[in-house]
Structure formats: structure tokens, C-alpha cells
Amino acid sequence: MTELSKLEIWFAAGSQHLYGDSVLKTVDGRVREIAQALAHSPEIPVRIVPKPVLASAEAIRELCADASRDDRCIGLLLWMHTFSPAQMWIAGLNALDKPFAHLHTQFHRRLPWATLDMDFMNLNQSAHGDREFGFLTARMGLARKVIAGFWQDSDVIAEIAAWSRAAAGWREARRLRVARFGDNMRNVAVTEGDKVEARMRLGFAVEGYGVGDLAARIAQVGGADVDRLVAEYDDLYEVAPSLRAGGERRSALREAAKIELGLQAFLAEGGFQAFTDTFEDLHGLVQLPGVAVQRLMASGYGFGAEGDWKTAALVRIMKLMSAGLSGGVSFMEDYTYDLTPPGQVLGAHMLEVCPSIAAAKPSLEIHPLAIGGKADPVRLVFTARSGPAVTASLVDLGHRFRLLVNEVDATAPPEPLPRLPVARALWTPRPSLKVAAGAWIYAGGSHHTAFAPALTAQHLADFAEIAGIECVIIDGATHLAGFQQALRWNEAYYSRRCR
């Protein structure tokens, strides 16, 4: 899977020829110096590549065309160190097929009061150069991220880092292919959607397969490979006694391992980075894939249950965005509540929660599944670690997509859960369960989410801005009346935009 360190953001300053070569040379040197500093910042996961100063419409158009063509380039970081008459940018920005962020900074933090002269003023005029550029990008209605502040400050670096992850997520969205085994869970609405619109707006493809195609690949898995994988299970997890070597359910563990190997091979051979299945369509599979899905998610695949291709794609994109960050990303479902104030959500699924969010070593267990009519599935059981997280849902409103995000705080369950045979997370939604659940339901958010301790709402807001879709965030400051009003205003705005 893609390593973020191989991806590039190209950093370029705009100018013009009015100032003479020595000014342009100075600007060039400063772009290189800032690029180097940003590149050495451990927070920024991608390469920051300095580009020569842009002083003509032709140079701008060429850079934008090169960036659009270059597969490693995920976006541009642009800065008007001096004044760059912005009409020069129109053709280039019209041709740009990558996102851009506008870094509004200045090389010096402090003004040199005693020596300040007009040469200094003319060299360091981003205060008005960036406003000229800002006007044009506003006038053109372009999606962009504006990052204002001194380039060495931690908040500026953090914003560049977050945006670079969003830009990498956008690159992934446009390349992503989701394998959909079987169709949607019959009659379910929220997991459905318009796959053509998704490909037009977000870029990813959803490709359907009969589950028999997967069963055929699983049947080809060799016994020696199964031996190796069950040995790995034995090493990595607290294996339930009945599943251990010599235990009476050991054959079910071998079957689970065979499903994992077949599923992994199918996805790798087909070039898929995400997948869905459904318990209603398992013809030819002995068990509903449990540990297989959990471990494939942990290795980077996106997943959505019951045919939920939107969440599968979102989980994959968010996993890519969070590469190198701690905390993990998982498929999740709002399952049941504790309504003791302030109110908590117990999230889980039948089986498929990713161990990247686990607080401790998972246990590998086998239990009956009440639905689906298949053999008992093997699954990893654990509790998610405590700390801040976001839940996110990609909503298909028929004519457009909405990305819905809730900031939450995961906590340890107040008591042990000895009879709950699935992985789970317990969280308190911000600002409260009452407001968050009300807002979520007004916004049409799914019960399926991507649950991400590794990411923040900022990552997702930046991604949505790049994608040109609505993003609504439920956070500690959300008031229900204002939230509802924002949904209505957004409806007018995005309906106009998306026509």
C-alpha cells in the first residue's frame, strides 16, 4: 500500500519580473529554505518539494500542468512572497487537476524596525500579494485551504500536515477500487447509494462479484499456508482453549485462516484496497468472515459490512490518511446506548471491528452467530483504547454526498463485559449524546461509520473541501438549532454547486 513518504507536495512562490533578478533569486532561496524546514518536520508525512519562483503566466501554467500529470504530486502549496498579478494564475489554476493550499506567511517573523526601508517592504509584501491571490481564488470559486501564520509556528506546521494527509486521501480516493461481494443487505436504505455519482464526485470504483468467486479463490488456498497463518494467530492473540492446537474447534480456526488467505489473495490479485460482504450472501463460505476481515482492516484495507461500499471506501481513505499516526481506524456501528447522563454509545459489530484500535492484546474466540445460518465464526475480541476520536459517515443524499463527522471521547467500560463476544468501543459523543445523536439523525448519518482515534475532524474537513462535498461536524460547540439551520443553508449551497 502507498507510503506517504513517497508522495510530494510542490511548494512554489508566485512573483513577477517587475522586481529584478536579485529579488527573484532571494525568493527562490527562501522557498528552498522553508521547504527544507517543512520537510524535516516529523509531523509532515509527505515530501515538500521546492519549485522555482513563478513570475509569468506561462511558468504558472507549466507548473500546474506538470503537477496534474505527476503521479507522486498530491497537491501544491502556494505563497505570494511578492506581488504576483493574479490574472497570470487563471489559466494555470483552470488546468490544475490537484488540490492546492495557500500558505499565507512571511519569511521574517519580526520587522527589522531600525533598518526597515522600501526594499524590505517590496521584498516582503505577502500581506498584499496573498490578498491579490486570495481574491482570484475566491472569484474563481476554487476549493482550497488557506493556512495563515508564521511558517515556523507549530499551528501552521500542523495545518500543513493535516492538509497533506487530506490531499493524500484524495489521491487514494481517485485510485481506490472496492470489491463488493454480493449486493446490499436486502431492503436496507442507508448502505445503498449511487455508485456512478460516487465515481464522478469522489473517484473510487465499486466492482461487484458473486461471493462464489471468492469461495473459489478460498478453495485454492493450500494447507501449508493455513498452517503458517494459524501459527501466527497462536503467537499474536490470546487464543481460546477450544481453538488451540488439539482443541475441539481447531478446525474452525483453520477454516477462518483459509478464508483470510483466500480473501487477501483475491483482493491483492484484483488490485482492490477495500471490500464489502454481507451475511445474507455467503454461498460457498463456511463462516461469515470475522477474524479475516479484522486482520485485513488492520493491514490497511477498507471494509463495510452488509454491502456498505461507502463506508468501506471511507475506512480505506481514512486509513491511508492516518498512515504513521497512532490510534487506528476501524469500521464501526453505533450499536446500543447507556443513557446515564451524559450518555454513551457502545459501538461494535457482529464481528468486524479493526484491532488497530484495540487497547490490549485481542483474544481469538469462537461463538455462534444468531443470523446468517452459517458455522460459528472466529473473531478477535477486544475493547478500544480510551482517548479522543472521530466517527464519520459518508451520506448519499441522492443528488450529492455529505460527510458527517462527530468528535467523541472513547472511554473504558465501567464494568467488565464477560458475556459480550465481539470487539467494542465505548464513547461519549461531543457535546452530549442527546445533541450529537439528534444532530446525526437530522443529518441522515448512517449507523455504520469509520471510527478513527488516529484522525481529527480537521483531516476530514480538509478532505471534503478538496472533494467539493459538504462536511458537517458535530463537536463540543454544536447547538442543535444552529446545526439544523446549517444543514438547510448547505442544502441550498450544494444543490446549486452540484447541478
Q: Which of residues 75 and 307 has its CB atom nearest to Mn ion in the complex?
A: 307
Q: Which of residues 260 and 334 has its CB atom nearest to Mn ion in the complex?
A: 334
Reported in sequence order, the residue ranges of 369-488 that DSSP labels E, i.e. its strands, are 378-381, 387-396, 401-411, 424-429, 448-452, 470-474
Q: Which of residues 136 and 395 has its CB atom nearest to Mn ion in the complex?
A: 395
Q: Which of residues 201 and 447 has its CB atom nearest to Mn ion in the complex?
A: 447
The SS3 call for residue 8 is strand
Q: Long-range contact list for 134-140, CB < 8 A, 24+ apart?
A: 134/102, 134/104, 135/86, 136/86, 136/87, 136/89, 136/90, 136/93, 137/93, 137/102, 140/90, 140/93, 140/94
Which residues make Cβ contacts (< 8 Å) with residue 450, sequence separation at least 6?
Answer: 311, 314, 315, 318, 329, 330, 331, 332, 391, 392, 393
Least separation in angstroms between residue 327's CB and Mn ion is: 23
Q: Which of residues 162 and 329 has its CB atom nearest to Mn ion in the complex?
A: 329
The SS3 call for residue 264 is helix
Q: Which stretch binds Mn ion (CB under 5 A): 92-100, 290-298, 306-314, 469-477?
A: 306-314
Least separation in angstroms between residue 191's CB and Mn ion is: 8
Least separation in angstroms between residue 275's CB and Mn ion is: 15
Q: Which of 48, 101, 103, 305 binds Mn ion (CB under 5 A)?
A: 305
Handedness of CA 230, 235, 239, 244 (dihedral sign): positive
Least separation in angstroms between residue 26's CB and Mn ion is: 58
Q: Do 145 and 156 touch, CB atoms closer than 8 A? A: no
Fill in the per-residue mask, 408 to 447: x = in contact with Mn ion (CB under 5 A), - = not in contact.
----------------------------------------
Fill in the per-residue mask, 252 to 291: x = in contact with Mn ion (CB under 5 A), - = not in contact.
----------------------------------------
Q: Which of residues 311 and 456 has its CB atom nearest to Mn ion in the complex?
A: 311
3-class secondary structure per residue, 208-225: EECHHHHHHHHHCCCHHH
Name which of residues 172 to 211 contact Mn ion (CB under 5 A). Answer: none
Name which of residues 95 to 154 contact Mn ion (CB under 5 A). Answer: none
Q: Which of residues 50 and 377 has its CB atom nearest to Mn ion in the complex?
A: 377
Number of residues counted as binding Mn ion (CB under 5 A):
3
Q: Which residue is nearest to Mn ion (CB)?
A: 305
Q: Do 67 and 76 touch, CB atoms closer than 8 A? A: yes
Taking CA atoms, 195 is separated from 191, 198, 202, 309, in Å, by 11, 5, 10, 9
Amino acid type, 472: V
Copy the grid coordinates of residue 341: 447522563
Fill in the per-residue mask, 327 to 346: x = in contact with Mn ion (CB under 5 A), - = not in contact.
------x-------------
> Does position 60 bind Mn ion by CB under 5 A?
no
Q: Which of residues 156 and 425 has its CB atom nearest to Mn ion in the complex?
A: 425
Residues lying near Mn ion in the complex (CB under 5 A) are found at: 305-306, 333
